[in-house]
Amino acid sequence: MDRSQATLLIAELGQRLGVSDMALSNGSCLLSLDSGAVVVSIRHDEPSGTFELMAGHDDVELSPARLAKALAANFCWRPVDGALFSLDPISRRLVLRRTCSGDGLDVAALMTLLDRFVKHAMAWTKILAETADEEGEEAAAQLEPRRLSMAQERA
C-alpha cells in the first residue's frame, strides 16, 4: 500500500470512528480511546506497505515478574493475537506492537484489527497490573534460560 492509499484509508477510518480530522502526519497518527485509557499509534511504513499499531502500557510498573509474563505472551503470539511486547529503549516502558500487511486492507478489516488490538492492550494492562511483584531471585529465575538435558536437546 502506498502513501496516498494509506492516507485515504486512515481518513476513512477516522470518518467511521467519528474523528473527521484524523489524518496521517509524517506517516503516523494517534488515536485515543476509552477516555485516554488506551492511546494507539498508527504508523504507515511506505517501503514495506505495512501498518504498525502500537500501544504503551504506561500504567504498568515494570517488575521482573511482569516482564517475564509479557515476554512469555510473545511465544507463538497466541495470547496477544499476533502482536508482540517490546521495551521502548527511550521511555523504558512496555509497548504492545502489531504489524499489519497493507495488501488488500480495507477500512472494515483495519477496524477489526484495531478493535482486537485495543481489546488485547486493555486486557494485558489488567493482567500485568494484577501480576504480583515477586522477590528478586524468584522473578529473575523466570527470565533465565532453562537448561535441557542432552536427551531433550536431541529429541
Q: What is the pLDDT of residues 92-109, one digit of tens each?
A: 889 999 999 988 899 999
The total number of structural domains in the chain stands at 1
Q: Say if 131 falls within a structural domain.
A: yes
Measured CA to CA, the distance from residue 125 to residue 89 in angstroms comes to 19
Q: Say if 80 falls within a structural domain.
A: yes
pLDDT of 137 > 50? The answer is no
Residue found under cell 511504513: 45
pLDDT at 58: 80
Q: Write out the H or E segment, with its range, that includes residue 43.
A: strand 38-45
CB 68 within 8 A of CB 142: yes
Q: Write out the H or E segment, with its range, that includes residue 109.
A: helix 107-129
Tell me the pTM: 0.81
The residue range of the domain holding 134 is 3-141
At 3-30, the pLDDT tens digits run 999 999 999 999 999 999 999 999 999 9
Query: What proportion of the chain, given as a percentage, has pLDDT over 70?
Result: 85
Mean pLDDT of 83-89: 90
Q: Say if 152 falls within a structural domain.
A: no
Mean pLDDT of 103-118: 93
Residue type, 18: G
Q: Report the 10 Å Cβ neighbour count for 99.
A: 15
Residue found under cell 529429541: 155
Average pLDDT over the chain reads 85
Q: What is the CATH number of the domain that holds 25?
A: 3.30.1460.10
pLDDT at 67: 87
Mean pLDDT of 104-123: 93
Q: Could you tell me which of 100, 90, 96, 34 has the C-alpha nearest to residue 69?
A: 96
Q: Say if 17 falls within a structural domain.
A: yes
Q: Say if 71 falls within a structural domain.
A: yes
Q: Say if 154 falls within a structural domain.
A: no
